[in-house]
């Protein structure tokens, strides 16, 4: 009942919004038009080539262009004189014996069979049958610590 009596009509509400928030409303309408254009260009890349180029740069993360890590003499690059100088430099390096060979990466082979299978005849027999091995001693130590922890819990009645 209260809402029916006291609410504004749609025309009154639109007038209040236009008075108070006219600049925000117009700005949002402009942004919506920009987004419509953007998504239309995303669907059809031929509409906006600049935007397509920017999107490629973003997707490549700045790695779309190849970068040189050494200096290039623009006067000699791509000329016969430059090719000749490069060949001479390569021959000098070979004569001096300073050729660095690229190392091949070794592939690590998985040694499943060696790790999974333990052969009994490959294990050395212990001289003293009554002696404990290191594994048996460690298992006994872990068991003893567990028993002590359980005993302290029962005696104290507190966990910490």
Taking only the tens place, the pLDDT of each residue in 140-156 is 888 889 888 888 878 77
Residue showing tokens 């070794």: 106
Q: Give the pLDDT confidence score for residue 118 in this predicted structure.
A: 52
State the pTM of this model: 0.30
Taking only the tens place, the pLDDT of each residue in 19-59 is 989 889 889 999 999 999 888 888 888 888 888 888 887 78
State the burial class of residue 82 (Cβ atoms within 10 Å of its Cβ: 0-12, 13-18, 19+). Answer: middle
Q: Give the pLDDT confidence score for residue 153 in this predicted structure.
A: 79
């Amino acid at each position: 009942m209260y809402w029916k009596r006291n609410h504004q009509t749609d025309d009154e509400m639109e007038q209040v919004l236009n008075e108070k928030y006219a600049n925000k409303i117009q700005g949002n309408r402009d942004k919506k038009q920009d987004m419509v254009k953007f998504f239309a260009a995303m669907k059809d890349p031929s509409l906006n080539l600049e935007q397509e180029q920017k999107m490629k740069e973003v997707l490549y993360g700045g790695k779309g262009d190849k970068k040189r890590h050494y200096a290039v003499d623009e006067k000699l690059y791509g000329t016969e004189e430059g090719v000749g100088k490069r060949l001479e430099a390569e021959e000098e390096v070979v004569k001096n014996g300073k050729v660095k060979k690229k190392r091949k990466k070794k592939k690590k082979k998985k040694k499943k069979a060696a790790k999974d299978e333990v052969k009994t005849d490959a294990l050395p027999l212990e001289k003293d049958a009554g002696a404990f091995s290191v594994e048996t001693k460690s298992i006994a130590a872990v068991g003893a610590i567990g028993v002590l922890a359980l005993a302290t819990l029962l005696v104290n009645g507190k966990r910490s």
